[in-house]
Chains A and B, each alone.
Chain A
Amino acid sequence: MKDLIRKYTGPFSGLLAHRIQRVTGLLLLVYLFLHVRTVYALSEGPEAFDRAVAQFRGPVFKMLEIALLGAVILHALNGVRITLIDVGAGQTRQSRLFWIGTIGLGALIFLTGAIPLFISSVLGR
């Protein structure tokens, strides 16, 4: 019981992680809608699909793509953290799990993908 109370009132209540999970979750749902909309063009033949994809080649969409990568990584790693805590792992180390596991590891994976993507598609080198 004491552990349970500390889980919600400690120095790290998980509120930030909770909000990140909800905001990124909703954004990903919006993305899924747009994604299905684009993929639907497959049913209208090769020209329609290739035209639909061509509109995403500009630098603005590439930046949004990089943001998408960030949202996916945050949501996935935070989801792993939530599931670990649910099965009883790391209950007393939630704060460290969040800052190292979600934010730290997430930033590392994000930069590994985002930097080459930015150089090749936004700067066009």
Chain B
Amino acid sequence: MAAVWWYLQRITGALLMVLLIVHFWVEHFVSENLRRGDLTYSAIRARISNPVWQIIDIAFLLIALVHGLSGARGIVLDYSRIGRRGARFATVALCLIGAVWAWWGVQAFKHLR
């Protein structure tokens, strides 16, 4: 099981590098307003109305959460002596946090569609 987490961390890490560059590009460089740092509701709405961007943004959030919380899990397991049951509890707890966090993030889209 541990190998799955290890492997996922590399895959999600590689995906995040690509997605982060895309994210950075579309939020800061594609128009004159954005280059000035004028990130407004209307600019985001224009982009998010495209369902492809919705899929990309939600996937970005989910992949970041898997990578970040899986990394946090590694830190918790390394620095605590909680045994196997404790480790399983930590994993379940972090999965729940991830689910709530993901739901919270996706709420941002509800009026933009």
Contact = CB atoms under 8 A, between A and B. Distances in A.
A76 interface: yes
Given A83-B10, A121-B37, A29 B69 contact: yes
B108 interface: yes
A39 B61 CA distance: 12
The B contact surface, by secondary structure, is helix
A46 interface: yes
Contacts of B39: 53
A36 B101 contact: yes
The A contact surface, by secondary structure, is helix
Contact of A40 (B37, B65, B75, B107): B107
A119 B10 CA distance: 36
B interface residue count range (under 10 / 10 to 19 / 20 to 34 / 35 or more):
20 to 34
A72 interface: yes
Contacts of B13: 79, 83
A22 B75 contact: yes
Nearest to B105: A36
A76 B20 CA distance: 10
Contacts of A43: 107-111
Among B13, B108, B112, residue most surrounded by chain A Cβ atoms (within 10 Å)? B108
B109 A32 contact: no
A40 B103 CA distance: 11
Interface of A: 22, 25-26, 28-29, 32-33, 36, 39-43, 45-46, 49-50, 53, 57, 72, 76, 79-80, 83, 86, 121
